[in-house]
Amino acid sequence: MSNVFGKLFKLGSWGESHGKAIGAVVDGCPAGLEISEEYIQTFLDRRRPGQSILTTQRKESDAVKILSGVFEGKTTGAPISLIVENTDHHSSDYDHIKDWYRPGHADEAYDSKYGFRDYRGGGRSSARETIARVAAGSIARKFLNEKCGTEFTAKISEMGNIENARKNGDSVGGVISLTIKNPPKNLGEPVFDRAEALLAMAMMSIPAAKGFEIGAGFNAAKMLGSEHNKLGENHAGGVYGGITSGEDIFCKIAFKPTPSISKLQKAKNKNGEIGEISIKGRHDPCVAVRAPVIVESMAALVLMDLWLQNGEFKIGN
Amino acid sequence: MSNVFGKLFKLGSWGESHGKAIGAVVDGCPAGLEISEEYIQTFLDRRRPGQSILTTQRKESDAVKILSGVFEGKTTGAPISLIVENTDHHSSDYDHIKDWYRPGHADEAYDSKYGFRDYRGGGRSSARETIARVAAGSIARKFLNEKCGTEFTAKISEMGNIENARKNGDSVGGVISLTIKNPPKNLGEPVFDRAEALLAMAMMSIPAAKGFEIGAGFNAAKMLGSEHNKLGENHAGGVYGGITSGEDIFCKIAFKPTPSISKLQKAKNKNGEIGEISIKGRHDPCVAVRAPVIVESMAALVLMDLWLQNGEFKIGN
Amino acid sequence: MSNVFGKLFKLGSWGESHGKAIGAVVDGCPAGLEISEEYIQTFLDRRRPGQSILTTQRKESDAVKILSGVFEGKTTGAPISLIVENTDHHSSDYDHIKDWYRPGHADEAYDSKYGFRDYRGGGRSSARETIARVAAGSIARKFLNEKCGTEFTAKISEMGNIENARKNGDSVGGVISLTIKNPPKNLGEPVFDRAEALLAMAMMSIPAAKGFEIGAGFNAAKMLGSEHNKLGENHAGGVYGGITSGEDIFCKIAFKPTPSISKLQKAKNKNGEIGEISIKGRHDPCVAVRAPVIVESMAALVLMDLWLQNGEFKIGN
Amino acid sequence: MSNVFGKLFKLGSWGESHGKAIGAVVDGCPAGLEISEEYIQTFLDRRRPGQSILTTQRKESDAVKILSGVFEGKTTGAPISLIVENTDHHSSDYDHIKDWYRPGHADEAYDSKYGFRDYRGGGRSSARETIARVAAGSIARKFLNEKCGTEFTAKISEMGNIENARKNGDSVGGVISLTIKNPPKNLGEPVFDRAEALLAMAMMSIPAAKGFEIGAGFNAAKMLGSEHNKLGENHAGGVYGGITSGEDIFCKIAFKPTPSISKLQKAKNKNGEIGEISIKGRHDPCVAVRAPVIVESMAALVLMDLWLQNGEFKIGN
């Protein structure tokens, strides 16, 4: 497994859905940034379950604690260890599917790769892991906001009919649109670590993400060069040759429907037999509902890391 | 800049469009693989310019030489240095735009970031850099093919009306569809280095790429969970929880129209003045035309790197 | 800061001497390895303070808890989060030196680099950080022992007269000798990631380490080629061209005297003034006394990481 | 193999002793630095063979060519590709030892690890590979010298009786002392990427290096804390807690005797048989003689990389 994200601003993520806790270790944060548990909590609250009928009814307070790296309210340069305890796990909900691979899930893949599978809520493959991303991202975005006034705003721009799906024990997909206002200029390290490439990587590492586009995206394939190039129209979405121009950055991320549904569906078990299962547990009928803050967080982690790499790119700086 | 791709199977790419040569250094290739200049050449020939009316008329033989890492026809484990000399560069074609930023290009971004811009054909930001990717990718795909029978096939699945655009000195965009048959199973390192995340990163690092999707992609956002999950339909595109299942992998990559067009368009210069320019030089009217072999190569590099990382993921192997 | 060690088997270390806890996140451990808190504790107990008159009288139980990555007694492939709470910190011991830079310590360096210094026991620069290394190393060595029978044994081979130094409120240095029996063969990635280079890096990252040698080491500089080469005498210390031969590996690591001494010494303060200070607190009179298990642990981390990188170095494996 | 050194300022090294060429690709160099082939050549000339009776009589001009990354005499931010052609290789010198493992060499290790061995002069394990390090290091030191006035000076401080050894077809070892004047302050990324740890790694990656020490080094182990700490005496060698203080940095590196000797010695062959061989070819009787410029170069690469990582370590910068 590879659970460290970033080159200079590193997030180490750990913890399972039904384990003792979820945690993040942020390494490489500059010293002197004001950070508090209350501040981080506001972002975790945005992704917290149990807040509306549209999200899972798992009741977690998701209260974050800072264990290191902050002294007298400010970062010290040392790794920032953040922890959120798991309290409301109903592992017994999963007993009935212990031997079944939930369709659309990572169950079979983990079993094949690791010779083992944590059937209690998906273990490490659970979206609960994104707590670490949101906590770490909240630090990155604060830094960028203080330095450059950068703002990250993600919204659901497309979603299936969640009410109809819910009634049938089914789920729907969705699309999240992200706008980054006042991004730092000159970020991105061509030819491989282009800003758009790292944003794509970050977004596609979120559970259930299936597509990414920037600027005009797939529509760009339908345009003429003379249209796409037009000055001031920002069809590129704020990056040129892999480098941010300082213009707003626009991205879209497609999410597949929540794979966990109570509706009866065909599934395979460990012996390769086909049967029908209904997945209990408390699941979001649309993963996109809680995804905006996750998308914003991943974007912040990418820009922060590129920002630190940008130190000295030309003599005379 | 960051011109090294991969963790264990590393491609170091170098060279400018109008410099002396384009090169690739492949580090981490296992010993014992048969490789010849002729073999690599077949892939470079697929991306070579001047082959049809649909591609730039720049006449490059793009003949590759192996400078190290191969002894008596086989790789030795040592870095493989590959070089392609540039011969047909018409740098004078670019004199008229020396002070102008070509719209849709990286000119202004490079100038801003590096305090410098190689106006001769875009320098490092030119798609000519992808020679290095194709040369390196040819080695990766040979390894995977011999070990697992893996095959990479990319095709244009969508393209604007290139003839009409050409007549008007304009350009069009396009979409490339990639199919990977017999991919190795169990590749991908969750939670961050998921197979789909690394594929997205690789594809979005190709010049002019603006969108990426895997499996049902953006359409997944319109599906119901019960539809998307269906056993045997592979809507996921061969990856679950970031790990390959061994099923075929499907991706699509959107490319914007070639930014270099001879049609008159508004542009900015170094002093911030707006004027009109027509870009001479010999350019593809659609970047997607030569992109399939580049897309295949990047996919091969990703899978090869993950394959090497996969050595020992469970005790008892 | 950079608090992540390793490429495939990664240790993320966090925590300050007088903070809430010290922690380690081990990422990349293969699934299926039996690990328990009791097992890890045996190694932490070897580095624990307060055990003899030769070590600091700080009384820490250093009890480790596993927070993730282990299920039903076995590793799952997921990151293993380990935590040791700090209980016996006497931060007030440090009030008297709040504005003084302790000679031989990182105080001034941290202040200069981070604009900040955690005066309570050195914060992150304290040797208490090595708890993370020992905890992580215990996992690596178990893996290598089960796979290859590898054994790591470090001992003090040289030390000043600690009793005389102690009486005078002074401290002494020492040398640790490390023997690795049955190391895996073929480890090391030339030309840069040679086994001896990574061992050197690992050892020199231990607080107070000032020298490293392998095999005949500095004595090799005094030998003739015909002597050094002699078959079967292993003057090389088990590595050739950066690759392990499977023979025993021998290294020595030199440690400077503990910089914290109660004896009056000249020091600088934040304003650049020179004065005299006596350092209270509870300090080892020789850092080497508790270092053997740290040295063993770092060696295990290096070999484990190289072992994972070694997956597929030649076709036909 | 791993032939890329550095995180932000990356050296990719390639080429075999008896292959077509030796090359270096320097990635991450800031734009705007004046660099010429003549400048780089002055450093290569210092390590060039055939210059005195103390070094190998292989006659190589070692003329370097810049293939990319420099435009109108200045770096552009793009990768700098450097190449030195091999001209005077007498591969036939090695025919007689084709099946024998030269004692003290990497022959057996390479054969075991890669299932293959380039018997022509050691292939990749030859010290000829260090051409790439010296060429790349010359760029790093120029940058640091212009920015901070940093100067790197290495000298032989200890060497066996080379004349007597030479007469007997034998070889001797040696010690190189390195002084770095005016190093940048605040370099080093604790807790793992300490300046001294990375210097140790860099030095121990040089062929034949067997020991490294910084400041008082192994002598520190014999000192009292009160001695070692003394203000102004710089026993630490310019680093505290892994961070440079700006004081001069002192290191020593021990080199074993050249393993290639013409004196008859016992050796093993591929079948495990023991015999006696005399190694022909043209070899330095002491590797330390040409090592100073290599040592200086590796130090420059380390500090340059740390310098780029140092961009933004505290808010308010």
DSSP string of D182-216, one letter each residue: SPPTT--BTBTB-HHHHHHHHHHTSTTEEEEEETT
In this predicted model, which residue has the larger pLDDT, A45 or B90?
A45
CA dihedral of B192, B194, B199, B200, whole degrees rounded to 10: -50
Does A258 sit within 8 Å of B223, measured CB to CB? no
A&C contacts, CB < 8 Å? 149
* Best mutation target, A7, A143, A315, A317, to test chain D (most D CBs within 10 A): A315
Q: Tell me the C-alpha distance between A25 and A16, whole Å.
A: 15
Contact C78, A12 (CB under 8 A): no
- Which residue from A125, A236, A316 is facing B241, i.e. has the nearest CB? A125
Closest residue to D33, CB basis, from A307, A309, A315: A315
Q: Averaged over A224-232, what is the pLDDT?
A: 96
- The residue among A291 and B92 whose pLDDT is bigger is A291
pLDDT value for B95: 79
Q: Which chains touch A (3 or more CB pairs under 8 A)?
A: B, C, D
State which residue of chain A sits closest to C14, comparing Cα positions: A79
Least CB-CB distance to C312: which of B311, B316, B317?
Answer: B311
Instruction: Quote the CA–CA distance of A298 and A302 in Å, as a whole number.
Output: 6
Contact D72, D87 (CB under 8 A): no
* Residues in chain D closer than 8 A to C137 (CB atoms): none
**Residue found under tokens 């997607």:** B288
The per-residue pLDDT for B288 is 92
Give ipTM to 2 decimals: 0.96
Q: What percent of chain A has pLDDT over 90?
A: 82
Given this model, what pLDDT does residue C53 score? 60
Q: Which of B197, B221, B261 sits opposite A175 (nearest CB)?
A: B221
DSSP conformational letter for D227: H
* Residue ranges of chain D whose pLDDT lies below 50: 317
- Is D295 within 8 Å of D178 (Cβ atoms)? yes
Residue D153 structure tokens: 């000076």
C114 at A interface, C-beta within 8 A = yes
Chain B contact present for A312, CB below 8 A: no
Tokens of B314: 């469970």
Judged by CB atoms closer than 8 Å, whether chains meet at A214 and B230 is answered as no
C4 inside 8 A of chain A by CB: yes
Which chain D residues are within 8 Å of A143, Cβ to Cβ? 315
Q: Using the beta-carbon criterion (under 8 Å), do B125 and A216 form an inter-chain contact? A: no
Optimal mutation site among D75, D312, D314, interface A, most CBs of chain A within 10 A: D312
Angle (nearest 5°) at CA B286 between B283 and B288: 120
Inter-residue contact C105 to D229 (CB < 8 Å): no
The two structure tokens encoding residue C96: 């008297």
Sign of CA dihedral C233, C236, C237, C242: negative
From A184's Cα to the closest Cα of chain C, the distance in A is 22
Instruction: Map tokens 């290294």 to a residue.
Output: C251
- Chain D residues lying within 8 Å of C156, measured CB to CB: none
Tokens representing C92 are: 């007030």
Which residue, chain included where needed, has tokens 């005009």? A216
Task: Among D186, D189, D205, select the one facing C112 at the smallest CB separation.
Answer: D186
- Which among B18, B67, B139 is the top mutation candidate for probing chain D, defined by the most D β-carbons within 10 Å of its own β-carbon? B67
- A142: alpha, beta or left? (left if phi > 0; alpha if psi -120 to 50): alpha
pTM across the whole model:
0.97
What per-residue string of b and e applies to B3-17 under the rule 16 or more CB within 10 Å gives b? bbbbbbbbbbbbbbb
Burial pattern C139-173, b for ≥16 Cβ within 10 A else e, equals: bbbbbbeebeebebebeeebbbebeebbeebbbbb
- Establish if B278 touches chain A: CB-CB under 8 angstroms: no
**Which band of pLDDT confidence, cut at 50, 70 and 90, is reported for residue B55?**
low
Q: What is the pLDDT along chain C (317 residues), one digit of tens a residue?
A: 999 999 999 999 999 998 999 999 999 999 999 999 999 999 999 988 666 666 666 677 899 999 999 999 999 999 999 999 998 777 777 778 888 999 999 999 999 999 887 777 788 989 899 999 999 999 999 999 999 999 999 999 999 999 999 999 999 999 999 999 999 999 999 999 999 999 999 999 999 999 999 999 999 999 999 999 999 999 999 999 999 999 999 999 999 999 999 999 999 999 999 999 999 877 888 999 999 999 999 999 999 999 999 876 666 54
On whether any CB of chain C is under 8 Å from the CB of B225, the answer is no
Q: What is the mean pLDDT of chain B?
A: 92
Of D25, D81, D118, the CB nearest to B76: D118
Q: Is C243 helix (H, G, I), strand (E, B) or coil?
A: strand
Would the CB atoms of A314 and D7 count as touching at under 8 Å?
Answer: no
C31, C146, C315 member nearest B32 (Cβ): C315
- D30 and A315 in contact by Cβ < 8 A? yes
Closest-CA distance, A141 to chain B, in angstroms, reads 19
| In the predicted structure, residue A54 carries a pLDDT above the cut 90 | no
Q: Which residues of chain C lie closer than 8 angstroms to D108, CB-CB?
A: 240, 245
Confidence of residue B97 (pLDDT cuts 50, 70, 90): confident
Kindly report the nearest CA distance between residue D28 and chain A, in angstroms: 8
As a whole number, mean pLDDT of residues A75-89 equals: 92
Quote the CA–CA distance of C193 and C199 in Å, as a whole number.
10
- Three-class SS of residue C61? coil
CA distance A120 to A173: 24
Query: Does residue D167 belong to the interface with chain C, where contact is any CB pair within 8 Å?
Result: no
Q: With contact defined as beta carbons under 8 Å apart, do C228 and D191 qualify?
A: no
State whether residue B68 sits within 8 Å of chain D by CB: yes
Nearest residue, CB atoms, A312 vs list D308, D314, D316: D308
pLDDT at B283: 79
At A252 the pLDDT is 98
Give the residue on B whose Cα is nearest the Cα of D124: B78
Name residue B250's beta-bridge partners. Answer: B179
CB-based contact B1 D27, cutoff 8 Å: yes
Cβ-proximal residues to D273 (8 Å cutoff; 6+ apart), any chain: none
For residues A63-75, average pLDDT: 96
Measured between CB atoms, does D309 come within 8 Å of chain A?
yes
B138 near B26, Cβ under 8 Å?
A: no
The answer on pLDDT for A171 being more than 90 is: yes
Per-residue pLDDT averaged across A27-40, rounded? 96
Residues B105, B64: Cα–Cα separation, whole Å: 28
- Determine the 3-state secondary structure of A75 from DSSP: strand
**What is the C-alpha separation between C186 and D108, in angstroms, rounded?**
10
Distance from CA of A72 to the nearest CA of B (A): 32
H helix or E strand, kind and range, residue D73: none
Q: What distance in Å separates the CA atoms of residue A191 and residue C37, rounded to the nearest whole number?
A: 46
Is the separation of the CB atoms in C204 and D218 below 8 Å?
A: no
The phi, psi pair for A252, rounded to 5°, reads: -130, 145
Asked if C4 is an interface residue toward chain B (Cβ–Cβ < 8 A), one would say: no
Q: For residues A203 and A251, is the Cβ–Cβ distance under 8 A?
A: yes
Residue at D100: amino acid letter: W
Taking residues B2-11, report their average pLDDT: 97
Written as six digits, the tokens of C284 are 């080892």
Closest partner CB to C115 (pick from A15, A16, A32): A32
pLDDT at B190: 96
B311 and A CB contact within 8 Å: no
Q: How far is B14 from chain A (nearest CA, A)?
A: 9
Taking residues A164-192, report their average pLDDT: 96
With 80 as the cut, is the pLDDT of residue A274 above it?
yes
CA distance B214 to chain C (A): 25
Which range is least confidently modeled, A96-110, B23-37, C150-164? A96-110
pLDDT tens track for B255-285: 999 999 999 999 999 999 999 999 987 778 8
Which of D139, D309, D310 to mutate to probe the A interface, most A CBs <10 Å? Answer: D309
Cβ within 8 Å, pair B259-A228: yes
Of residues D30, D33, D314, nearest to A31 (C-beta): D314
Q: Is the pLDDT of residue A210 over 70?
A: yes
* pLDDT, averaged across chain D: 92
Instruction: In whole angstroms, give the CA distance from residue C173 to residue D219.
Output: 9
Minimal Cβ distance to B12: which of D27, D32, D118: D27
Token pair 């001047």 is at which residue? Answer: B50
Largest Cα–Cα separation, chain A? 68
Using CA atoms, how far apart are residues D267 and D102, in angstroms rounded to an integer?
6
Q: Is the pLDDT of residue A317 over 50?
A: no
Q: Is residue C174 less than 8 Å (CB to CB) from chain D?
A: yes
User: How near does any CA of chain B get to the CA of C138, in Å?
Assistant: 16
CA B223 to chain centre: 30
